[in-house]
Amino acid sequence: MATTAAPPAARRPDARNYLGGSFTNDGSRHLDVLDPSDGSVISRVPLSSAGAVDAAVRAGAAAFPAWSATTIKERVQVLYRYRSLLQEHIAELSALITQEHGKVRNEAEAEVLKAIELTEFACSLPQIVTGEVMEVSRGVECRTDRHPLGVVASIVPFNFPLMVPHWTIPNAIALGNCMVLKPSELVPLSAVRVAELLAEAGLPAGVFNVVHGTQEVVEAICDHPGIAAVSFVGSTRVAKIVYRRGTANLKRVLALGGAKNHLIVLPDADPEMTSTNVVASMSGCTGQRCMAASVMVAVGVTDHIVRKMVEHARTIVPGRNLGPVISREARERIERYITDAERAGATVLLDGRNPVVPGREGGFYVGPTILDHVRPDMAIAQEEVFGPVLAIVRAGDVDQALAVENASPYGNAASVFTESGGAARYVTERASAGMVGVNVGVPVPREPFSFGGWNDSKFGVGDITGHGSIELWTQTKKTTTKWNREAGTNWMA
């Protein structure tokens, strides 16, 4: 069984910025990095200034001419080697993720495996990004090929310290760009290891750079004239800030925001599969996934499924097979949502507040929590809680359930659980979300399919992974060519 109850690991060296192939210190301002499973200080992260962003951009700009001039087949050779290094270091990277983020070991390992899959997609890009060519008039050829943008930036959240950076790093650099990564200040250590392993794989200095910090670094990225494009993954509040500021500075921006995912459970749903999948979705990674189930809309007679869910959720125990949430503030926020919902009339079927984890009393734990008879107007049904909490809203029919889902300003994911193909189709066609599932609690599209939501869950055109990433990180050049003389008399002369 997965566990977080390993002895506390030794303190790690301070995280450092990685600029032009060297690790450097940036100033004297630091934040402590905590192990959320016991609250101990495990490292420090520098609070860099705009100057570090400028140094990273200069390093990227210096590396760009040579890197973009190599062929894509040559560039992905580095990523093949990097992929092998990730594979070799699965145990070490999983332990690091567990230490800085808190997620249990099997979840951390799944994150490393997903980073490997993302890297494999980037390795396949030479087979996909082949360009187009056609004889459009006799003797006249049109050709389209893709070119990198230059120095690009990727700003990432805390909840997947390794996987989310891999949504952008391998594809952006395989496509010929140089990158500045801004990790979450809460989990900066995995990004440092990424820089080390990319260097070991042979990535030239300056192609990949890391600048640690918070708001000041993000604002400097949005403002820097040397950065051509910015991807952001995080809360909707900050996604809007980054999208507005980056586009106001005439950059290409794709900003993925928060989520409030609805699972619609119909009375004919398979009770065993539905109950285990819904609980896994709301509690996996302690509910700190942008694809986590947050509201279950139970349509008609579904009490038998709800009972099984509660039974199943009781087997998920903080400190044993459930990690902590990221911080003390996050725990307080989540518990406040539960308490307010209870006061407003919701029934607490399973209460995860204030769990005791022996030997980890300083950890930021919240147990799985299931609330029934939540009204759609309650804060817990509308706002992103980002913890292992499921709000059950009751609906008389599928249209009422869809009305609840459609009213959410978010639109990352939605799923329906049913044995009826027609009902499944009815819901997936009408759900207002970018990623929909049928009998799947976490409908993440895997490579080569692209990841991205709708509405307030994403600002900008396109998606962040898979085929969508090719549009994001390249621009097309359209070349029209004529060599033979007889073509000179046609209208394209």
Q: Which residues are catalytic?
A: 290
Q: Which two tokens stand for residue 100?
A: 């800085």
> With respect to ligand NAD, which residue has the nearer C-beta, 177 or 288?
288
Cα distances from 370 to residues 322, 325, 412, in angstroms, run: 15, 17, 21
* Minimum CB distance to ligand NAD, residue 326 (Å): 7
Q: In the complex with ligand NAD, which residue's Cβ is closer, 257 or 323?
A: 257
431 secondary structure, DSSP code: -
Output the smallest distance, CB 64 to ligand NAD, in A: 24
Give the residue at shortest CB distance from ligand NAD: 234
The amino acid that residue 179 corresponds to is M
Please say whether the beta carbons of 46 and 213 come within 8 A. Answer: yes
User: Closest approach of Cβ 86 to ligand NAD, in Å?
Assistant: 20
Beta carbon nearer to ligand NAD, 59 or 259 = 259
**H or E, element range at 349:** strand 347-350
CB nearer to ligand NAD: pick between 217 and 424: 217
Sheet strand arrangement including 229-233: 22-24, 17-19, 208-210, 178-182, 151-155, 229-233, 252-256, 458-459
The structure tokens listed for 66 are 């040579």
> Which of residues 300 and 462 has its CB atom nearest to ligand NAD in the complex?
462
CB of 367 to ligand NAD, least distance (A): 20
Task: Output 99 or 184, the one with its CB closest to ligand NAD.
Answer: 184
Indicate the SS3 state at residue 420.
coil
| Beta bridge partner(s), residue 475 | 147
Residues near ligand NAD, by CB under 6 A: 155-159, 164, 182, 184-185, 214-215, 218, 233-235, 238, 241, 256-259, 290, 384, 386, 412, 453, 457
Nearer to ligand NAD, 99 or 302 (CB): 99
Looking at the Cβ atoms of 384 and 405, the one nearer to ligand NAD is: 384
Are the C-beta atoms of residues 32 and 41 closer than 8 Å to each other? yes
Is residue 116 helix, strand or coil? helix
Write the CB contacts of 95 (distance below 8 Å, at least 6 apart in sequence): 9, 105, 108
Q: Residue 444 CB, nearest distance to ligand NAD (Å)? A: 9
Min CB(32)–ligand NAD separation in Å: 15
Q: What share of the chain is helix, strand, coil (3-state, %, to 5)?
A: 40, 20, 35
Closest CA to 440 of 416, 420, 423, 419: 416
What's the rounded Cα separation, in Å, for the pair 440 and 422? 16
Give helix 105-123 / helix 90-101 axis angle, nearest 10°. 120
Minimum distance between the CB of residue 260 and ligand NAD, rounded to whole angstroms? 9
Could you give phi then psi for residue 167, rounded to 5 degrees?
A: -65, -30
Q: How far is the CB of 164 from ligand NAD (least distance, A)?
A: 6
Report yes or no: 103 and 3 within 8 Å, Cβ to Cβ: no
> How far, in Å, CA of 361 to CA of 311, rounded?
26
CA dist 183 and 355 (Å) reads 30
